[in-house]
Amino acid sequence: MHKDNLFAPLRPKTVLGIAAHPDDLDFGASGTMAWFAKQGAKVHYLIITDGSKGTDDLKVSPKELIKIRQTEQRAAVKAVGGKSVSFLNYPDSMLEVTMDLKRDIVRIIRSVKPDVVITMDPSMLYSANRGFINHPDHRAAGQAALDAVFPLARDHLSFPELLKDGYLPHKTKTVLLINFDQSNFYVDISETLTNKLSALKAHASQIPDMDEIFGFVKDISRRAGRKANFQFAESFVRIDVR
């Protein structure tokens, strides 16, 4: 094993990606989603907001945009060989870490029963080097997802109303956090980079210059791959939950 890749490869049966917006998981993890699906995993996406603010087009209404982006996300899930996508439709750009949000995520975790959850690293506030502030929805989604994984989905006394509805407690074994600045785990996406590019292609409303994005994604995947002796890789902070 390469010294930068601190863990053995994962072979999950069920994977749940949890993110704020349509396209977040496809930028950060769709090569991995496709790789897991290719190995027989059931891959599910959970998108928390309605994506209704993601446009510079003054003519498109929020309602139209929600529809466009959900259609795009469904196509992207298909491109990675995913099984399902759920939308919670919280208003875009206003997401907060509330108990209602955590309950909504716990409900999905307890029904999908993932062994791996992939979400955004909520500790990523900004990157001065790269000159960006992480979207507050990304942080809120990641925080609520982590809280839902541990301890809320695991403990039957959390949200007794869910237990009453038949949602039994579930313990997720591994969390992969999308964090563009640091990582301890690399997934070989050499065979699924094309799926990733197709998934991104589905998000046409969000990507004005597809060739530029393809070049950028290939470049960062190649750079991540170099750290783990793969041609192309996606990188994560991996937590194996004890």
| Nearest position to Zn ion, beta carbon | 21
- Quick one: 7 or 132, whose CB is closer to Zn ion? 132
The CA-CA-CA angle for residues 182, 186, 188, to 5°, reads: 150
Least CB distance to Zn ion at residue 138 (A): 6
DSSP-based three-state secondary structure for 89: strand
- Quick one: 108 or 178, whose CB is closer to Zn ion? 178
- Quick one: 24 or 234, whose CB is closer to Zn ion? 24
Residue 38: name the closest of 18, 19, 10, 17 by CA.
10
For residues 104 and 48, give the distance between their C-alpha atoms in angstroms, rounded to a whole number: 9
Least CB distance to Zn ion at residue 99 (A): 23
For residues 54 and 206, give the distance between their C-alpha atoms in angstroms, rounded to a whole number: 7
Least CB distance to Zn ion at residue 135 (A): 5
Least CB distance to Zn ion at residue 93 (A): 10
Interface with Zn ion by CB under 5 A: which residues? 21, 24
For residues 220 and 216, give the distance between their C-alpha atoms in angstroms, rounded to a whole number: 6
- Quick one: 24 or 188, whose CB is closer to Zn ion? 24
Kind and range of the H or E run holding 196: helix 193-201
Q: Encoding tokens for residue 152? A: 């809320």
Count of other CB atoms within 10 angstroms of residue 110: 22
Q: Tokens 């929805």 identify what position?
A: 137
Least CB distance to Zn ion at residue 21 (A): 4
- Quick one: 21 or 110, whose CB is closer to Zn ion? 21
